[in-house]
Structure 1
Amino acid sequence: MSIAEFINKISQGDCLEVMQHFENESVDMILTSPPYDNLRKYKGYELPFEAIAKELYRIIKKGRVVVWVVGDATINGSETGTSFKQALFFKEIGFNLHDTMIFRKRNPIPQIYRHRYNNEFEYMFVLSKGRVETHNPLKIDCLHAGLKLNGTTYKNYSKNEQKRSKMAEPVKQQKIKGNIWEYVVGKNSEDQEAKDHPAPFPCQLARDHISSWSNQSDLILDPMCGSGTTCKTAQELGRNFIGIDISKEYCEIARNRISNVQMRLPLIP
């Protein structure tokens, strides 16, 4: 078997076993959110993280990225720090920690007060195999677009001594978006399709990352695809996809979501 037999399909199985059929450097982008700590009970499945991380490094192409969406449980009064441990292990096996991004939830689940602030975010580690070659940056409007700000200076982020100087006069219309991305969780109709999964991330989150780190007809992998959000969104954006999940129930949810997209858009040859 080769990777070609899995393209534009949702495959039930252990992602480690399935990925063994993939050729080296055969995937253009990986976007996934693994079951972590005790926050997610996942059909009794234990995550062999280090083995999975090594397979991801093997199959991702040079210059491309893995987006790893993860958080930490609080156990016995302390956050586990699992997210940081995983990020550091990715670095140990050869990945660059290209960006540490934040997924901020506009409607976080209220928590029992235990002398800490309500948790509102998860990490989105962007891990690259070498220097990133594909980036289509999202942009937002500048607050002072078109204005001449006579008293404003900008720090020059050079490798040498940092200095302040006027660098935008007038202020440009748009700038590259920051690395804290906010989303409403579970409220939009397209996200309601995944309500039978315990922890789907928003379709717009997948849409933003796939648009940012891949191009038309690229191959996007989610090795723990759950309800299929990554795959559904990749299909909508004109990318090929591979989805893998250990759960038969979640694979069926993902396939149903994909079939709805395929009625609107043709498969990519």
Structure 2
Amino acid sequence: MCSDFFNRLYAGDAVAFLQSHVPSDSVDMVLTSPPYDDLRNYNGYSFEFEKIAHEIFRVLKKGGVAVWVVGDKIRNGNRSLTSFKHALYFQEIGFNVHDVMIYAKKNTPFMRSNAYTNSYEYMFIFSKGKPKTFNPLKEATARHGAEMLVANKKADGKNYKVLRELKKEKTRTNIWFYAVGLGGTTNDKEAFKHPATYPEQLAQDHILSWSNEGDIVLDPMCGSGTTCKMAFLNKRNFIGIDISQEYIDIAQKRLDRYMGIFSEYSK
């Protein structure tokens, strides 16, 4: 792919577009959230999950990572388990399920009458072989410096302490918490014209974790353009595809603040 192909949004069917425009083993990372279980009305569009999964596997480079943000529909008290069905299919076609992460929502209005409030989605980390990139995000530890810490007990059952160094930072866990809504998900009001957006910080955290500057990040169902925006702001190249021209226009408006006007592909 030539450089002119990058950092643009394309309106069209993701499977057809990838098959005709994106070579095999050419993308470093995929970050997307599919329209699972018909939870939202995406202008009447649906998606062919199996075909998209195969195309993602084809276009990813060896060592590339696909982040798949997905949840389950709850109907009549019964979960669809669509999320795990997706994960098992990705595994079946050759992906490693490198991690199962949790996107926990700090604020959610959706209460259930006979169960605890559902406040999370899954973030499956699928890798094509061993991930070639992992830049672990860090967080401050509660204590740091030299401290007497309990060592392994011996046969006498006594606690022995040794002097050890507590680090100032530690790698984050695989449960990530984000506020949602205006000011949490994003400050871009136009983004909420799309029925389902995920936090910009979530996108940035994954992009920083699984890719490097100059890498190519693909979102084949880019919706309001969050993945593309955060890829660009973090010096990655992006390719954004969505079947809805209306959603492409929303994403375009968000990106134009940073990139200026660029042309789009039409079916």
TM-score, normalised to structure 2's length?
A: 0.89
Q: Which blocks of at least 5 consecutive residues in structure 1 are unaligned?
A: 154-164, 264-269
**Equivalent in 212, 217, 227 of residue 214 of structure 2:** 217
Superimposed CA distance per residue, residues 160-207 of structure 1 (whole angstroms, 9 cap, x where no aligned partner):
xxxxx9898121111110000001112315353411111100101001
Asked if the contact 2:149–2:163 (Cα under 8 Å) also holds between the matched residues in 1, the reply is no
Aligned-residue CA RMSD in angstroms?
Answer: 2.0
State yes or no: 1:56 paired with 2:39. no
Of residues 23-32 and 189-198 in structure 1, the stretch that sits farther from structure 2 once superposed is 189-198
Change (3 A) 1:187 1:225: same
Give the count of matched residue pairs.
251
Asked if the contact 2:222–2:228 (Cα under 8 Å) also holds between the matched residues in 1, the reply is yes
Asked if the contact 1:191–1:203 (Cα under 8 Å) also holds between the matched residues in 2, the reply is no
Asked if the contact 1:14–1:245 (Cα under 8 Å) also holds between the matched residues in 2, the reply is yes
Whole-Å Cα distance in 1 between the matches of residues 148 and 198 of structure 2?
A: 40
Deviation at 1:248, TM superposition (A): 1.0
Look up the match of 2:120.
121
Whole-Å Cα distance in 2 between the matches of residues 65 and 168 of structure 1?
A: 40
Whole-Å Cα distance in 2 between the matches of residues 108 and 208 of structure 1?
A: 21
Look up the match of 1:143.
142
Whole-Å Cα distance in 2 between the matches of residues 84 and 3 of structure 1?
A: 36
Q: What amino acid is aligned across from residue 105 of structure 1 in structure 2?
A: K
User: 1:16-31 maps to which residues of 2 (within 5 A)?
Assistant: 16-20=15-19, 21-31=21-31
SS in 2 for 1:169: strand
Whole-Å Cα distance in 2 between the matches of residues 84 and 168 of structure 1?
A: 45
Whole-Å Cα distance in 1 between the matches of residues 110 and 173 of structure 2?
A: 26
Q: Which blocks of at least 5 consecutive residues in structure 2 are unaligned?
A: 153-159, 261-267
Whole-Å Cα distance in 2 between the matches of residues 168 and 262 of structure 1?
A: 53
Q: What amino acid is aligned across from residue 207 of structure 1 in structure 2?
A: Q
Asked if the contact 1:29–1:60 (Cα under 8 Å) also holds between the matched residues in 2, the reply is yes
SS in 1 for 2:134: coil
SS in 1 for 2:150: coil
Whole-Å Cα distance in 2 between the matches of residues 12 and 239 of structure 1?
A: 21
Overall identity of the aligned pairs, in %: 51
State yes or no: 1:38 paired with 2:35. no
Superimposed CA distance per residue, residues 46-103 of structure 1 (whole angstroms, 9 cap, x where no aligned partner):
2211111011000001111000000000123200000001001100000000010000
Look up the match of 1:156.
none
Whole-Å Cα distance in 2 between the matches of residues 169 and 149 of structure 1?
A: 6
Deviation at 1:228, TM superposition (A): 0.2
Look up the match of 1:103.
103
Change (3 A) 1:24 1:117: same
Q: Could you list the runs of 4 or more consecutive aligned residues of structure 1 that deviate by over 4 angstroms after TM superposition?
A: 2-5, 165-168
Whole-Å Cα distance in 2 between the matches of residues 9 and 89 of structure 1?
A: 30
Asked if the contact 2:148–2:162 (Cα under 8 Å) also holds between the matched residues in 1, the reply is no
Asked if the contact 2:222–2:241 (Cα under 8 Å) also holds between the matched residues in 1, the reply is yes
Whole-Å Cα distance in 1 between the matches of residues 218 and 161 of structure 2?
A: 43
Whole-Å Cα distance in 1 between the matches of residues 179 and 2 of structure 2?
A: 35
Of residues 185-194 and 228-237 in structure 1, the stretch that sits farther from structure 2 once superposed is 185-194
Whole-Å Cα distance in 1 between the matches of residues 97 and 146 of structure 2?
A: 36
Change (3 A) 1:48 1:5: farther
Asked if the contact 1:3–1:22 (Cα under 8 Å) also holds between the matched residues in 2, the reply is no
Change (3 A) 1:185 1:226: same
Look up the match of 1:184.
179
Whole-Å Cα distance in 1 between the matches of residues 149 and 173 of structure 2?
A: 24
Which structure has the greater CA radius of gyration?
2
